[in-house]
Amino acid sequence: MDDLKELRDRVLEATTRFFVDRDGILPDQEGEEWEAEYRRQYDLAKRHAPERHRALPERRAAPGHSEWPELAGSPAQKRWAAELRAARLAIIENKDMRDWLAATWTTAADWVDTRDMSASGFLRRIDTQYLASRRDAKALADEHAAAERAKVAAANALRDRVQSAGITAEGLIGLVDVSPRTTEAALRGKLAELEVGERNLRIFETRDPNVLAVIEKNEAGRSQYAIERDDGLVADLSLFAEASRA
């Protein structure tokens, strides 16, 4: 059964290729011209087929695919384009290329415009476009991979800076604890968030350039207070926060 199916497929493909090479389009597959060529191709194929396959295989329409996207265009264009698409895709051996072409050429005009092209000319055109598409896709993938590697390298370098400087959440909380308290001011952007055990500290810039605000949550609850700004502390908090986000 599989061998008979293979013979049918070969005969159908040869018939399709004959008309595409000669005319660029398929004739009516219920017509005499298609039937005559189909039988001629069968006669050629059966000379090399095993004896058990000599029975004339049933004639089938050009192959289609349920997963191919619906073509856009007028009803007449779509009918013509669907036949052309089936005929054109039937002669492409590379499955990846077939899938790419079916997904890329989604308007009837794409296919109708090839009506006057020979099969060999069509294949040359598609091969060029497919290879260009693969190169573009590879270049884009390489670009993304390089950007990701650069991002990882930058994050690692930042963490190395933090580690080399001995900056830790515990050490920063200790510096906040020993910083002089001062009068509170309105909050602005958050500098960093520190969490060690039950303590969670969010540290903010304020409208007063000399004051930092701290909102702390711990076992005792929530509290808010202000500390005097120290440029060294702010630099360490900013570096720690950046490394935490990387």
pLDDT tens profile 213-240: 999 999 989 999 999 999 999 999 999 9
pLDDT band per the 50, 70, 90 thresholds, residue 21? low
Q: Is the dihedral of CA 94, 95, 100, 102 positive or negative?
A: positive
Q: Write out pLDDT tens, residues 65-117.
A: 556 888 998 888 888 888 888 888 888 888 899 989 999 999 999 998 888 88
| pLDDT reported for residue 61 | 39
Please name which of 73, 97, 90 lies closest in space to residue 26, comparing C-alpha atoms.
90
- For the entire predicted model, the pTM comes to 0.47
All residues at 6 or more sequence positions from 37 whose CB lies less than 8 Å from its CB, including other chains: 15, 18, 19
Please name which of 198, 184, 203, 187 lies closest in space to residue 244, comparing C-alpha atoms.
203
All residues at 6 or more sequence positions from 188 whose CB lies less than 8 Å from its CB, including other chains: 204, 205, 206, 207
| pLDDT reported for residue 32 | 74
Q: Phi and psi of 163, rounded to 5°?
A: -65, -45
Cβ proximity of 114 and 88 under 8 Å: yes
